[in-house]
Amino acid sequence: MLPVNADRFLADLHTLRSFGAAGVGKGVVRPAYSDADIAAREWLVGRMGEAGLSVHVDPVGSVFGLAEGASLLMGSHSDSQPEGGWLDGALGVIAALEVARASVEAEGPPVSVVSFQDEEGRFGVTTGSAVWSGNLSLEKADGLTDRDGVSFAEARAVMPGRLDGFVDPARFTGFLEMHIEQGPVLDREGEAIGVVDAIVGIRDMKITLEGEQNHAGTTPMQGRRDAFQALSRFNALIAERFANVVTPSTVWTIGHVTLHPNASSIVPGKVTFSMQWRDGDADRLGRMEAIIREAAEEVAVSGGFDLRFGPMLGLEPVEMDARLRGALEQAAETDVPGRWRKMPSGALHDATNVSKLMPVAMLFVPSIGGISHAFGEDTAEADLVTGLRVLASAVEALG
């Protein structure tokens, strides 16, 4: 196996955690293009250079450490959710860095490293890798806004002088992404490794319902056009209608709501909310979209609301490459015989976009209690190191 250095890997992982650290033993606040994210990317530029890689920052701020000639590409993202865990994304970047560094030292197979920008969707869905892969045009991305109204175009201008054009994907032979599972399965089953077989698809859009703002004391219940009540009704309607369409692994989330003007004594006049749904079957995603649009229309027409749908973003479900996956399975069976499984990913990953450009595969390590997208996210140190070893063995086998 490539002589990876577990102590150096863990030390780098903890250094990356310090950028945007939310407190001792907690997660990080490091959304795309925040000061903490940029500082972390500057640090990564330095670490990649020290590892003997040539650094390239693309027009959206994804940071590449390039090996010479044709190579595998490995990595993930170093931006976080607005309240994120310390490993989501970071683990894949630092594991890739350690494998690439060990490979340079031992004259092993060339490995390039990447930290994609805005995987966590401050602007879009996995924006940095979506733009690189062509799943999202740069022009459309530039027009997307975050929840405070800042545009992607404005935000990505914060890394001036470092923006070197897009990296030609033809130089890479495949992409490997290590990640925490972010769900409960491996932890519950006492297993050390998950080898991903497929990643679910997603649809995501903003919906606005506008009624009438008025006095909460004097406006009779009858005849109110209360935006919060409209959202409640919509939420109940879709849950009822999805029941005929979904499977136990289908999920949907209204995760961000802006209620206007959001005050106790005002009947709210307007609500804008995110509607996101995920499933492994693209047809089912389409049937759910039809239900969502119909339910929103129904609520709007019957209650006298103006209805607006924002642009719908989406990624299709994808399967992992058999050869790359096989190398990970073989490495897992050698390192932790009988303590690994094949499994789908219900979280999205940069690998979905990269699969448009080259073969991809993914490796999971357990998440304690299945917690992620929360400060409490964590993984046992021994599991982090097992994942690193399995990744390094697979890279060596792939040559």
Q: Is 37 in the site for ligand HGY (CB under 6 A)?
A: no
Cβ closer to ligand HGY: 77 or 270? 77
Among 21, 158, 347, 374, binds ligand HGY (CB under 6 A): 347
Which of 47, 225, 349, 389 touches Mn ion (CB under 5 A)?
A: 349
142 carries a ligand binding annotation: no
Closest separation in Å from C-beta 346 to ligand HGY: 8
Quick one: 53 or 200, whose CB is closer to ligand HGY? Answer: 200
Rounded CA-CA distance 116/155 in Å is 15
Distance (Å) of CA 179 to CA 78, 98, 171, 366: 12, 14, 23, 9
- 323: its two tokens: 């050869």
DSSP three-state, residue 3: coil
If one asks whether residue 121 binds ligand HGY (CB under 6 A), the answer comes out as yes
Rounded Cα distance between 205 and 269, Å, is 20
Q: Pick one of 88, 98, 187, 226: the residue that binds Mn ion (CB under 5 A).
A: 88
Nearer to Mn ion, 84 or 211 (CB): 84
Report the residue number, 120 or 377, with the smaller CB distance to ligand HGY.
120
Beta bridge partners of 177: 362
Q: How far apart are the C-alpha atoms of 48 and 141, rounded to whole Å?
A: 27
Residue 121 partner contact from Mn ion, ligand HGY, none using kind-dependent CB cut-offs of 5 to 8 Å? ligand HGY
Give DSSP secondary structure letters for 247-301.
-TT-EEE---EEEES--TTEE--EEEEEEEEEES-HHHHHHHHHHHHHHHHHHHH
* Total residues at interface with ligand HGY (CB under 6 A): 5
- Using alpha carbons, select from 103, 110, 77 the residue that is nearest to residue 179: 77
Interface with ligand HGY, residue 79, by CB under 6 A: no
- 119 touches ligand HGY by CB under 6 A: yes
Binder of residue 284, out of Mn ion, ligand HGY, none (CB less than 5 to 8 A by kind): none
Tell whether 283 is in a known binding site: no
Judged by beta carbon, residue 121 or residue 269, the one nearer Mn ion is 121
| Distance of closest approach, residue 222 Cβ to ligand HGY, in angstroms | 41
> Which positions from 38 to 77 touch Mn ion by CB under 5 A, shown as an x/- string?
----------------------------------------
Q: How many CA atoms lie within 13 A of 246 on its CB side?
A: 17
- Tell me the C-alpha to C-alpha distance, in Å, between residue 372 and each of 88, 109, 139, 368: 8, 33, 32, 9
Element of type H or E holding 128: helix 127-133
Residue appearing with tokens 């399995």: 390
Q: Write the CB contacts of 146 (distance below 8 Å, at least 6 apart in sequence).
A: 122, 123, 152, 155
**Rounded to an integer, what distance in angstroms lies between the CA atom of residue 137 and that of residue 207?**
22
348 touching ligand HGY, by CB under 6 A: yes
120 contributes a contact to ligand HGY by CB under 6 A: yes
203 forms part of the interface with Mn ion (CB under 5 A): no
Residue ranges at the known binding site: 77, 88, 120, 179, 373
Residue ranges at the known binding site for Zn(2+): 77, 88, 120, 179, 373
Residues in touch with ligand HGY (CB under 6 A): 119-121, 347-348
Residues in touch with Mn ion (CB under 5 A): 88-89, 347, 349
